Structure 1
């Protein structure tokens, strides 16, 4: 019988490369989750990376658009994005900040660059809501960069905790049904770290700078910049830096195992609920 005290290390199930897309009013993105070759990883519906220092790639932004039935998570590495909605909420996302928006029963909002030039870089992740929460009241969690805890668990390793827990650090995002973990890792060349993960949660790592070796030593996979590693089940993951170091986001969450009906900015459980969402939006009930 296997020793149950030995924690299972997660191997890499597959590696996914993003596809270039245009969204909003013409913003150029790299879509990793939510594309033809990788539709979703329950509960994660979409992951986009936006990165450009050419204003024409991002300046038109994302004018007013609706959402229902899921959550959007915007994490800024560089640049400034102003958001506003039809409930009168607004705020500014700067470098290092995060917004976790629970769209719930419906909201119409915009995300527009606050800058006219320079680097705009970050991620938007879509997280599904369970059926019981799809019609909940919308809410925002806007977290300034300085409010996100950061730790150096080993020499040359830096880690920001956006959601979930690492050791004694708890991320500022709270009250999310899928119990997510969202970490931003920076590793210098020659460094490594083991990250605990909830055994039943789906998880991925996306390398956005440099490269990383992910998985137990006997099955380690080299993951390059712009690649996403889908992780096998297990209780922790081993990450080591490539020859030039590496930066990545590591995300995990509880799968919902519910039917998914998607149509643009609406994510529900049945096609009939999608029709209802479209009707409600067109009737001004968001």
Structure 2
């Protein structure tokens, strides 16, 4: 099978969100730095509580899904629909904002390392106004394949159809997704490599968060995203030849929606009129009212 070629390597941008949480934004810091169907990718990692303790107080969303993956640490989700989620190391929360939800994500620790990701996954126009949905996926439900020398693949969403080790991730929103996401935490040790099959329909990138990634004539260090072209059946993941340490990446692949995107902060719709409606609904306290239509 042919390997997808790398088209660009981009550094994530340091920023703050929520009530001052320090993070690196790999997707979404500019409108042109999105990879349809993924709107945003944030990575947070700090053992300094000043960087994360204020968390993400109540805020609204409409029109997309959020996937939060905690690598280390402990956070809690609450929303206005009464959902509560206890998000611990290795766990995932999958929230379909749909027509609207107001939620908070707050650290449940006063010290120590808090590390993880939040992904914004777009919804097609026909599904943006569906009822909101929330699901907790504890670490025990994340299927893992062991790789040589201590490497692994933790499959958060999608399928990796290996004959010797078929994996199917538990993650999904309220219904089968038109974007068919493939999301995986992959660690490959020094001297090893792995080839991940990806559908021909999907766009693909990975975010390096430990070690260095072998990008052929280049090396992609931690804190960088690696974008791949559309041709090829597999993505090869390996640390540079001769490296003493392995590499760990978050792999994102999804089927593009090819629809217009209009975003205003936490609302992502298709038209300006729909954004204006979302703002009115939030102002009027009916963001998630079933009778509301954009």
Once the two structures are TM-superposed, the CA of residue 141 in structure 1 deviates from its matched residue by 2.1
Report the equivalent of 2:252.
Answer: 251
Match of residue 16 from structure 1: 10
Q: Give the TM-score normalised by structure 1.
A: 0.93
Structure-2 separation of matches of 1:117 and 1:177: 40
* Candidates 233, 236, 239, aligned match of 2:234: 236
Matches within 5 A, 1:1-286: 7-36=1-30, 38-166=32-160, 167=162, 168-174=166-172, 175-214=176-215, 219=216, 221-233=218-230, 234-242=232-240, 243=243, 244-286=245-287
Structure 1: runs of 5 or more not aligned = 1-6
Aligned pair count reads 276
User: Does the 8 Å CA contact 1:24/1:62 hold for their aligned counterparts?
Assistant: yes
Task: Tell me how far apart the structure 1 counterparts of residues 219 and 31 of structure 2 sit (CA, whole Å).
Answer: 20
d(CA) in 2 for partners of 1:122 and 1:92?
14
Q: TM-score, normalised by structure 2?
A: 0.91
Gaps (5+ residues) in structure 2? 288-294
Q: Distance in 1 between matches of 2:32 and 2:182?
A: 21
Matched residue SS, 1:241: coil
Q: Distance in 2 between matches of 1:210 and 1:37?
A: 28
For residues 146-194 of structure 1, give each alpha carbon's deviation from its aligned partner in whole angstroms, at most 9, with x where no partner exists.
1101112444431111101112110011322210001111111100011
- Any idea what SS the aligned residue of 2:246 has? strand
Distance in 2 (alpha carbons) for counterparts of 1:155 and 1:177: 36
